[in-house]
A and B are shown apart, each in its own frame.
Chain A
Amino acid sequence: MDKILRIDVGAEGGPKATAGAMGEYAGFAGRALTSAIVSKEVPPLCHALGAENKLVIAPGMLSGTTGAMSGRISVGCKSPLTGGIKEANAGGQPSQVLARLGYGAIVLEGKPKGDDLYKVFINKDGVRIAADNSLKMLPNYDLVAKMKAEYGDKIACISIGPAGEMKMSAASIACTDMELRPTRHAGRGGVGAVMGSKGIKVIVLDDTGMQMRAPKDPEKFKEANKRFIEGLKKHPVTGQGLPAYGTNVLTNILNEVGGYPTYNFRQGRFDGAAKISGETQAETETKRGGLATHGCHRGCVIQCSGTYHDKDGHYLTKQPEYETVWAHGGNCGISDLDGIAMLDFLDDNYGLDTIEMGATIGVAMEAGLAKFGDVEAAIKLVHEVGKGTHLGRILGNGTAFTAKAFGVEHAPVVKGQAMPAYDPRAVQGVGVTYATSPMGADHTAGYAVAQNVLKVGGDVNALKPEGQVELSRNLQIATAAIDSTGMCLFIAFAVLDQPETFQALLDMLNAFYGLSLTGDGVTDLGKKVLSMERDFNARAGFTAQQDRLPRYFKMEKFAPHNVTFDVKDEDLDKVFNW
């Protein structure tokens, strides 16, 4: 991982690839690297789909090693959805493969001269780029099947579906999983539209002939990795809960506490919740011959994912995550698990962010385009997007855009990006993160390591309202750091509660790179990443006014507990005071 591959898509005669040293970006990976390149090289006032924007794809610090859980890939750019900086990350195989091929990042830059669509193939011998207009408007599954026929089954793909080609703001970038299916998406912020604007349909990676990345101190690395895995296995969340039910185990819980946004964030409980819960999903998967416990990439020891089969026992999609089941389920009043799984498949196939699409359909239902609860109508709406009809073009540009187009007041967005599956009136601390994250409303932005492990921000009095602001700050710092390691964020549960597991992670990083990183060093990295991102947004014209939830969250009581979001604006403005 000592070089950056830059592909100038506007070069004479078609895209040209140049590999260069990491230079000033040496030591950066994952989100730290994508945000460093974007904040330094992309003019913040540029058009997100124009020549000046760049799409940066970067594996994590430990990707491509034998380290467990190290396969997240970060994708960064100026977001066409939020207008600010974006980092979206995904699991799947590409991070490991790209890292083993020796690349710290791929940067797509410039603007294509014509209408040709390109595929990029990277292996140990170098980079081949070719125009292939037969790929135009291919959905992700068909595209990957074609790449497999052409390059064999030892590949990993990073691709866009029709939504990305149509430069829709809800477009995702797909990464293939261990079974070579395009099921893992860098979903948020319209990163797929930026890839589409560069005229690149797919990046095919083949690491045949490459070795695992070697640590500076192999023995220490092996031993730390062993401790890290033991820590994950013994923790009740990463060792039991997540493998058994995946993230959708949260449906019943959020519903129980009245924090499950239902009918476009109108109320906090959904009558059909138990029918679409993680528990019901796992039973359904097992009964039909699917898998309730499965990893999204090699080296995952938690295995929060699975495979979902249809009623006839045929593969339909990967196990939909909690946020997807909520977005297409309760938020749209839908309690049909098979229908939700179909929507998950369609989103993956057309290349769409499931959260943005579910929230958009919720708004469309409020606008009267379909009835809440009508799964067939929801499926039709996603097809409209995939086909690029006029209606589909509106929906494919996300929740805020759709709300505007149809005159809907209730658009649950921050910085133009749809809120995920936790109502900020019921879980107010999450609302602080939604409001202030440079990424727009994002549940993963403040998700990770506890402040008492990292010792950031001093002691927090959890019983005082301002404690939420401090906690949100600390969590955002820690998340930014974890995103930079390339570790799956779900390690946070073990690291949160078990300082020895956090130490094992530090020991892995130190043994691999010959560093002597401490918890403070991790904190500094997180702060640095957030500072770069906030600075980019400020230069893009963002002010404190964008660090707010929509006003109706303060005004309208949320049943059953009849709560409003009551964290004061001046407290939100203190989140980044460090």
Chain B
Amino acid sequence: MNDIADKCPQLGLVLSGAMLPRFFLLFQQGVTIRARVGCSLKAFLLEELAIRQDAVDKIQSMFLDGRPVDDLDATMVRDGSVLALSAALPGLVGATMRRGGRYASFRQTISYHEEKLQCAAGNGRVRIKLFNLIMRELGPGLLHRGVFMRTSDLMNFLSGQAEDFWQECREVILDGMPSDAGRLKDGTLLSGHQKVIFSATL
């Protein structure tokens, strides 16, 4: 996996902060990052994603592989995990999704239960979904770090952007070298590459 990733081109954009909402659909659908895995969810959030403890506390609901998580220490992040993060949610069902909340029994059949607390540490890929207020909080950091995408998906995303997106795009950088936005838009810049590591600095 790392070999493939290491051969991917790295595309970076420098954009105005006003463009953050353009990435909201991507965040909701999930972006894949390369990360150290084989650790507890708590360690993954605090150390690998470098989220401050008070910000972790605001993430009232977390889901690993589509299951609500209650105990961050007893949940392991592995290569291929899907992690979704949400702020406080409304309604009874919203309350049942809270980590360790008092209505957890309402969804006990789908809650996350760790099978093995041990798993191999190493590099891997984790798909991260950000929802609601968490998109604004963690989205910029995730984009800055870089996400692993199929080039066709990235091109779909970029071709859906209106002209103001490109007006607010101050730099296009490919593998550390300044590049041309026109060549990115017309597809020539990334032609021949199936995958790309995409980052944006807002």
Contact = CB atoms under 8 A, between A and B. Distances in A.
Contact of A279 (B61, B106, B131): B131
Contacts of A250: 89-91, 93-94
A446 B103 CA distance: 12
A241 B108 contact: no
A397 interface: no
Interface stretch (B22-30, B145-153, B178-186): B22-30
B105 A253 contact: no
Interface in B70-107: 84, 86-97, 102-107
B56 to A, nearest CB: 14
Given A429-B106, A463-B108, A253 B94 contact: yes
Contacts, number: 154
B97 A241 contact: no
B110 interface: yes
B19 to A, nearest CB: 12
Interface in A421-476: 422, 425-430, 443, 446-448, 450, 452, 460, 462-465, 467-468, 471, 475
B95 to A, nearest CB: 7
Contact of B103 (A257, A429, A566): A429
Given A250-B93, A443-B93, A279 B132 contact: yes
Contacts of B104: 462-463
Given A240-B87, A242-B90, A429-B96, A252 B106 contact: no
A448 B84 CA distance: 26
A167 to B, nearest CB: 32
Interface in A189-235: 235
A490 interface: yes
Contacts of A463: 104-105, 108
Contacts of A428: 106-109
A542 interface: no
B63 interface: yes
B102 A462 contact: yes
Contacts of B121: none
What is the interface of chain A mostly: helix, strand, loop, or mixed? Answer: helix
Interface in B31-62: 58, 60-61
A274 B109 contact: no
Interface in B98-134: 102-110, 129, 131-133
Interface residues of A, number: 59
B155 to A, nearest CB: 19
Interface string A469-503: 00100010000000000000010110010000000
B105 A462 contact: yes
A277 B28 contact: yes
A269 B65 CA distance: 13
How big is chain B's contact interface, by range? 35 or more
Given A257-B66, A259-B107, A427 B91 contact: no
Contact of B93 (A236, A275, A427, A460): A427
A278 interface: yes
A455 to B, nearest CB: 13
B135 interface: yes
Given A429-B105, A462-B103, A462-B105, A256 B66 contact: yes
B94 to A, nearest CB: 6
B90 A493 contact: yes
A377 B143 CA distance: 40
A425 B25 CA distance: 28
B21 A241 contact: no
Contact of A563 (B68, B109, B132): B109
B32 to A, nearest CB: 16
Contact of B107 (A245, A279, A283, A429): A429
Contacts of A253: 61, 63, 86, 89, 94, 97, 131
A237 interface: yes
Contacts of A112: none
Interface of A: 235-237, 240-242, 244-245, 247, 249-250, 252-254, 256-259, 269, 273-275, 277-280, 283, 304, 322, 422, 425-430, 443, 446-448, 450, 452, 460, 462-465, 467-468, 471, 475, 490, 492-493, 496, 560-561, 563, 566
Which 3 A-B residue pairs are closest in the complex by CB-CB distance?
Answer: A429-B106, A236-B88, A274-B28
18 contacts: A237-B90, A237-B94, A241-B88, A249-B94, A253-B63, A253-B131, A257-B97, A279-B132, A280-B24, A425-B109, A429-B96, A429-B107, A447-B92, A460-B105, A462-B104, A465-B105, A471-B106, A490-B90
